[in-house]
Amino acid sequence: MADTESIATSSQMDNQDDPLNEHSSYELNQMRMEFESGNYVLKNETDMFEKYLKRVEPSVTGASVLPVPSQSSHDARVMRKRSRSKGSGVEKHLKLSAEQKCDIAQREIEELREDIEKHKEASEKDMDGYKATMEEAELRLSELKKSFYEFDRDIVKGSVNSRSNRVIAEKVIRYFEDKQRARDTLIEKLRLKNSTLKVQKKKLHLQLKQKEEMGEVLHEVDFQQLKIENSQYLEKIDERNQDLLRLKLMSGNTQQVLNSYKKKLQTLTLESDRLNAEISSRNDLLGKIDSETDTVQSERAKAEEVNRRLRQQLEDFRVPEVVEYVQEKADLYEMNKTVRSWERKVEIAEMALRANRKTWQQLKAASQQQQLWNIEPIKMS
């Protein structure tokens, strides 16, 4: 009974202490997906780091996982709570920095490139072999076609007797003998070429032995020295690669700053062009305003001169007396009356002139007609 009560109390305490009970199923699903993606990334990084360690230090093997003894659920939860407080500190020591990850990734990329180059070279060799095999097959096929064509031309069609329609045996024997002699000559050529190659091979072996006797050939110690130098050069190459990576990062930042300044320069250039166009338009407008100002100034000077004269006339003006004004008006009335009478007289004179001109025209026409009548009787007589 006591055991059941202790189990119930421990389960209640676990349910109260478990922070997962505070989240819904959707939130737990989201957290699970985030943890899976994080674990996937960490797994890839771990695999890459293991490959790097195996390549750099082959003696180092993968970390073996020790079997954990079985515990009760209550002890496991207590240990999990204790490990949560210490996990952050341990992870800080176990995780790699960003520079180390970048260095490892760079080296893995280089190794992948080397593997790709090796596979490329191997595939090129295989392709060359396949091409050579295909060329040999094509040559053999062309030789077979040529032999078939010659056999059909010389034996099947050329050596048939016209009377018996049978192949002449002598021609067949001669054909095969010729083929055999051509094959023998080819074999002889290949044998001579093989013998010359053997002689060259012997010469090369002799030269190699002479170099070994003279000490020009590399020995094991030289290879060890070359390996040491190669490792030193590899270390220098790694340092240069790190410097190159750092410089690439700096160049990337510099390129970003340069692009921002280029954008600013472009905007400022456009603004400068706009301002220059506006300044030119304002200068044109200012020139027009200056010309208009000069014109207005000259007109103002003329107007001031006219105004001055009018003021002077206004100052010099003298109003006449009333009697003089009345006398002048009477004179003006008489003059207007005289002008109207003269205008009437002129109209009457013009009318008389028109009547006289009309009468003159009639008399002139009558006189001309009389002259014509006088001339006609003279001609008739």
Domain segments of the chain as ranges: 163-211, 346-381
Instruction: Report, as an integer, the average pLDDT of 65-87.
Output: 42
| Predicted pLDDT at 36 | 85
For the chain, give the mean pLDDT.
Answer: 78
| Predicted pLDDT at 269 | 92
In degrees, rounded to 5, the angle at the alpha carbon of residue 108 between the alpha carbons of residues 52 and 90 is 50
Burial 329-350 (b: 16+ CB within 10 A, else e): eeeeeeeeeeeeeeeeeeeeee
> What residues have CB less than 8 Å from 160, skipping those under 6 apart?
166, 167, 168
The pLDDT tens digits for 290-322 are 999 999 999 999 999 999 988 888 787 676 678
The pLDDT tens digits for 98-137 are 777 787 778 878 888 888 888 888 898 899 889 989 988 9
The pLDDT tens digits for 147-205 are 888 888 877 777 777 777 777 777 788 888 888 888 899 899 989 999 999 999 999 88
**How large a percentage of the chain has pLDDT more than 70?**
78
Q: What backbone torsions phi and psi does residue 61 show, to the nearest 5 degrees?
A: -105, 175
Q: DSSP assignment, residue 162? A: T
Query: Whole-prediction pTM value?
Result: 0.31
Burial class (CB in 10 A: 0-12, 13-18, 19+), 102: middle
The pLDDT tens digits for 225-254 are 888 888 888 888 988 988 888 898 898 889
Burial 17-42 (b: 16+ CB within 10 A, else e): eeeeeeeeeeeeeeeeeeeeeeeeee
